[in-house]
Amino acid sequence: MVITEVLARNAQLYGDEVCLVGVNPDVGEKREVTWREYELMETNPFEHSRREMTWQQFDRHANRFANLLLSRGIGKGSKVAILLMNCLEWLPIYFGILKTGAIAIPMNYRYTAEEIEYCLKLAEADALVFGPEFIGRVESIIDRIPEVSPRFFVNGTCPTFAESYAQSVKGYSGKAPRVELSEEDDAAIYFSSGTTGFPKAILHDHRSIMSSAIVEQAHHGQNRDDNFMCIAPLYHTGGKMHYFGSLLSGSKGVLLRGTRPEWILKAISDEKVSIIWLLVPWAQDILEAVDRGDIKLEDYDLGRLRLMHIGAQPVPPSLVHRWLQYFPHHQYDTDYGLTESVGPGCVHLGVENVHKVGAIGKPGHQWEAKIVKESGETVAPGEVGELAVRGPGVMRCYYRDPQATAEVLKDGWLLTGDMAREDEDGFLYLVDRKKDVIISGGENIYPVQVEDYLHRHEAIKDVAVIGLPDERLGEIAAAVIQLKRGHDCTEEDILEFCTELPRYKRPRRIIFDSVPRNATGKIDKPALRKKYNVESLVEVETTR
Pairing of strands 151-153, 163-164: parallel
Pairing of strands 362-363, 343-348: antiparallel
| CATH fold label, 306-433 | Luciferase; domain 3 (2.30.38)
What pLDDT score was predicted for residue 193?
A: 67
CB atoms near residue 103 (< 10 Å): 26
At 419, phi and psi to the nearest 5?
Answer: -90, 135
Q: Where are the alpha helices (DSSP H) in 327-456?
A: 402-408, 447-454
What pLDDT score was predicted for residue 195?
A: 45
Which amino acid is present at 402?
Answer: P
For residues 67 and 174, what is the distance between their CA atoms, to the nearest angstrom? 8
pTM: 0.83
Is the pLDDT at 73 greater than 60, yes or no? yes
Which amino acid is present at 483?
Answer: L
Beta strands in 12-139 (DSSP E): 18-23, 32-33, 50-54, 79-83, 103-106, 127-130
Give CA angle at 15 (11, 20), nearest 5°.
75
Is the pLDDT at 133 greater than 60, yes or no? yes
Is the pLDDT at 379 greater than 80, yes or no? yes
Band (35; pLDDT cuts 50, 70, 90): very low
For residues 216 and 201, what is the distance between their CA atoms, to the nearest angstrom? 24
DSSP secondary structure letter of residue 215: H
Q: Where are the alpha helices (DSSP H) in 152-205?
A: 165-169
pLDDT tens-place string over residues 308-343? 998 866 688 888 999 999 999 899 999 999 899 997
Percent of residues, the chain, with pLDDT higher than 70: 91
For residues 466 and 44, what is the distance between their CA atoms, to the nearest angstrom? 43
Is the pLDDT at 472 greater than 90, yes or no? no
Cα atoms in the 13 Å half-sphere on the side-chain side of 109:
20
- Domain layout of the chain by residue ranges: 3-205, 306-433, 437-534
pLDDT tens-place string over residues 505-532? 899 999 999 998 876 677 888 788 888 8
The four Cα atoms 484, 488, 494, 495 give a dihedral, to 10 degrees, of 170
Nearest residue to 341 (alpha-carbon basis) of 313, 367, 311: 367
Nearest residue to 104 (alpha-carbon basis) of 173, 185, 179, 164: 185
Beta strands in 460-541 (DSSP E): 460-470, 474-483, 509-512
Band (447; pLDDT cuts 50, 70, 90): confident
The overall average pLDDT reported for the chain is 89
What pLDDT score was predicted for residue 528?
A: 86
What pLDDT score was predicted for residue 442?
A: 62
Helix (H) or strand (E) holding 525: helix 525-534
Nearest residue to 75 (alpha-carbon basis) of 210, 241, 186, 202: 186
Is the pLDDT at 353 greater than 70, yes or no? yes
What pLDDT score was predicted for residue 28?
A: 56
pLDDT tens-place string over residues 200-231? 999 999 999 999 999 999 999 999 999 999 99
More confident residue, 98 or 240: 98
Helix (H) or strand (E) holding 371: strand 368-372
More confident residue, 173 or 535: 173
Under DSSP, is residue 129 helix (H, G, I), strand (E, B) or coil? Answer: strand
Q: Where are the alpha helices (DSSP H) in 340-498?
A: 402-408, 447-454, 491-497
What mean pLDDT is predicted for residues 237-261? 93
What mean pLDDT is predicted for residues 187-192? 94
User: Interhelix angle for 280-292 vs 317-326, to 10°?
Assistant: 50
In sequence order, the β-bridge partners of residue 277 are: 309
Task: Give the lowest-confidence range in 263-267, 337-341, 368-372.
Answer: 337-341
Structural contact between residues 320 and 332, judged by C-beta atoms closer than 8 angstroms:
yes
DSSP secondary structure letter of residue 295: S
Band (47; pLDDT cuts 50, 70, 90): low
> What is the CATH class of 3-205?
alpha beta
Percent of residues, the chain, with pLDDT higher than 90: 68
Show Cβ contacts of residue 386 under 8 Å, excluding neighbours closer than 6 positions.
Answer: 371, 372, 373, 374, 415, 416, 417, 418, 419, 420, 434
pLDDT tens-place string over residues 429-442? 988 677 777 878 66
> What's the residue count for the chain?
544
Is the pLDDT at 26 greater than 90, yes or no? no
Instruction: List for the chain the helix, strand, coil content (%; round to 5).
Output: 35, 25, 40
Which amino acid is present at 97?
Answer: I
Q: Candidates 3.40.1190.20, 3.30.300.30, 3.30.110.40, 3.30.530.20; correct CATH number of 437-534? A: 3.30.300.30
